[in-house]
Chains A and B, each alone.
Chain A
Amino acid sequence: MSRELLCVESLRLRAGEGNEQRSLVSDVSFSVHEGRVTTLIGSSGSGKSLSCLAGLGLLPLGVRRAGGRVTLCGRDLDGLSPAAHRQMLGREAALIMQNPMSCFDPLHTIGSHFQETLAAHENGRLDMDRCTEVLARVGFEQPRQMLPLFPFEMSGGMLQRVMIALALLLGARLLVADEPTTDLDVVSQARVLDILDDLCREQGLGILLVTHDLSIVARLAREAYVMHAGRVVEQGEVTAIFESPRHHVTRELLRAHHDLAGFAPVDASCGAKT
């Protein structure tokens, strides 16, 4: 059994005060293991992003954890001091966000983004070899030439790969990817997914992937949790979920998915169905 990197047990999230309280997520449990991609699936507003942010202890302002336990890399988040928590983020677990175009500071080069990350955790010296090494891991053939570039000089797909490289810089074993390819075109998307697959398969990282696109789930994931209205309605192996979905929400998601995506990715069969 591979090591468990993240374990969330009966998580409950609430927003608002007093009578205005709303329950956003209730009784959600999931876990992420080394060397596997685990996904949270669901339509917009089903609570998947919040659940994964809660897993890192990074809830947005106004949302609080009303119950449940989160164990990140073997340590209970409740027992951690803020400083210790901060040390874990980046070294043990890292987050990849949806919009690479707006996540980078437009006034700073890629190199100084790397430096900033190093400064936040270590002595802040820009270690060229480490930067080029992680950039090479995400598929840049000439990593050294990327460092002096500004974010606007790169495409969305390249920036998303830089974001993954930044996440890997301090040796995180758990990657939390919240809709990592929604903003990219299909070609860049395939590239980024290949890289995530490699990281997981060959380097044994654990990945928690949040998505609404079932093609991405089919491409990458082994385990899936289907969320609806703040609850997990179905969980299991991805193949099982695709073959015999049990809950009606899952069936509805799959129906919509096959409706639009029932398209064989082979040239010859393109257009077989009009």
Chain B
Amino acid sequence: MTILELSKVTRRYRQGGWFRRSRALVAVQEVSLALDPGCCLGLIGRSGSGKSTLGRLVLGLETPNSGAVLWKGRDVRGLRGPDYLDFRRNVQVVFQNVQAAVNPRLPVWKIVAEPVENFDGLSGAAARKAAVALLLRVDLREKDADHLPHQFSGGMLQRVCIARALASRPACLVLDEAVSSLDMAVQAQIIDLLDEIRRDTGAACLFISHDIRVIRRACDELAVMHQGRLVDRLPRPFAPGPAAHPVLSELINAILPAAPKAPKL
């Protein structure tokens, strides 16, 4: 059963100029897609293709100009009270810029405990205990709990952000370039961790990236975005046929060689 669905969603922005001189920039145009439990959909495209806007639409951080985001079959804009809380609780996000995604003055257990306090109503020692359990889940240590964000490396901080996203036991995770700024070894670790979590919890994932190597490793299905539109979809093993969209081949051809060529003499 589909838990979250986009139906012909369009999002426009006004760009530049005052009064009537502004132009409309169509960031996402008539995109339809569905997220199923336990399935990881990779969203790939060049920068500026509308991937992140689509992610924000799924999260409810943006409202579509036309079309609708459906949560369990109901339009998110119409959700009120406990229904909205249910949506908020179940759709969580991990951003790319981890340093900017956490409060620099809170120890990490408090960062992770925030959703626990908000959604589960725990407080004090109980909240801390839940937060520490989550930190252990993402392979951090108990003694890390009292550290401040600046004492962590990017990879560890990304684990904190994942722990926070997991705190409310979401049914859907949006990972917006969640590994792009990390170094290679850490990228692989984080992807494996996300994979494990997905298998444990059965959460649906929307994995946004511009790097097909990462998508190939993490996802079950691939969707290609170009200039705001969804132009191609590929199931595993992501072998683009002759009819594949040129953007996909461009993205694949831009992948750098894994090893140096023989030295030129």
Interface 9-mer from A83-91, A112-120, A124-132, A261-269: A261-269
B26 contacts A by Cβ under 8 Å: no
Task: Bin chain B's interface residue count.
Answer: 35 or more
B252 contacts A by Cβ under 8 Å: yes
Which A residues lie within 8 Å of B20 (CB)?
A: none
Query: How distant is the Cα of A267 from the Cα of B251 in the complex, in angstroms?
Result: 10
B100 contacts A by Cβ under 8 Å: no
CB distance A44 to B153 under 8 Å? yes
Query: How distant is the Cα of A156 from the Cα of B155 in the complex, in angstroms?
Result: 24
Please list 18 pairs of residues, one from A and one from B, whose beta carbons are closer than 8 Å in the complex, sorted by A's number: A155-B48, A185-B47, A186-B210, A186-B211, A186-B255, A189-B254, A212-B184, A219-B257, A221-B260, A260-B187, A260-B213, A260-B214, A262-B258, A263-B213, A263-B255, A270-B238, A270-B239, A272-B239
In the complex, how many angstroms separate the beta carbon of A96 from the nearest chain B beta carbon? 18
A215 contacts B by Cβ under 8 Å: yes
Nearest A residue to B216, CB-CB: A263
Nearest A residue to B182, CB-CB: A44
**Residue with the greatest number of chain B CB neighbours at <10 A, chosen from A44, A190, A193, A213:** A44
CB distance B185 to A252 under 8 Å? yes
Which B residues lie within 8 Å of A156 (CB)?
A: 47
B236 contacts A by Cβ under 8 Å: yes
Query: How distant is the Cα of A185 from the Cα of B154 in the complex, in angstroms?
Result: 19
Query: How distant is the Cα of A256 from the Cα of B256 in the complex, in angstroms?
Result: 15
CB distance A187 to B46 under 8 Å? yes
With A239-B262, A256-B185 known to touch, is A274 a contact of B237 (CB < 8 Å)?
yes
With A187-B251, A252-B185, A256-B188 known to touch, is A270 a contact of B256 (CB < 8 Å)?
no
In the complex, how many angstroms separate the beta carbon of B119 from the nearest chain A beta carbon? 33
Which A residues lie within 8 Å of B250 (CB)?
A: 187
CB distance B256 to A193 under 8 Å? yes
CB distance A267 to B187 under 8 Å? no
Query: How distant is the Cα of A257 from the Cα of B182 in the complex, in angstroms?
Result: 13
Interface residues contributed by chain A, number (CB under 8 Å): 46
A182 contacts B by Cβ under 8 Å: yes
With A270-B240, A274-B236 known to touch, is A218 a contact of B185 (CB < 8 Å)?
no
| Mask of B167-211 contacts with A, CB within 8 angstroms, 1/0 | 000000000000001111111100100000000000000000011
B2 contacts A by Cβ under 8 Å: no
Query: How distant is the Cα of A238 from the Cα of B258 in the complex, in angstroms?
Result: 12
CB distance A242 to B47 under 8 Å? no
CB distance A185 to B46 under 8 Å? yes
Within 8 A of B (CB), among A235-274: 237-239, 242, 252-253, 256-265, 267, 270-274
Query: How distant is the Cα of A89 from the Cα of B184 in the complex, in angstroms?
Result: 32
CB distance B260 to A260 under 8 Å? no
With A185-B47, A242-B259, A265-B255 known to touch, is A44 a contact of B188 (CB < 8 Å)?
no
**Residue with the greatest number of chain A CB neighbours at <10 A, chosen from B239, B255, B263:** B255
A216 contacts B by Cβ under 8 Å: yes
Nearest A residue to B185, CB-CB: A256
Which A residues lie within 8 Å of B254 (CB)?
A: 186-187, 189-190, 265
Which A residues lie within 8 Å of B184 (CB)?
A: 212-214, 253, 256-257, 260-261
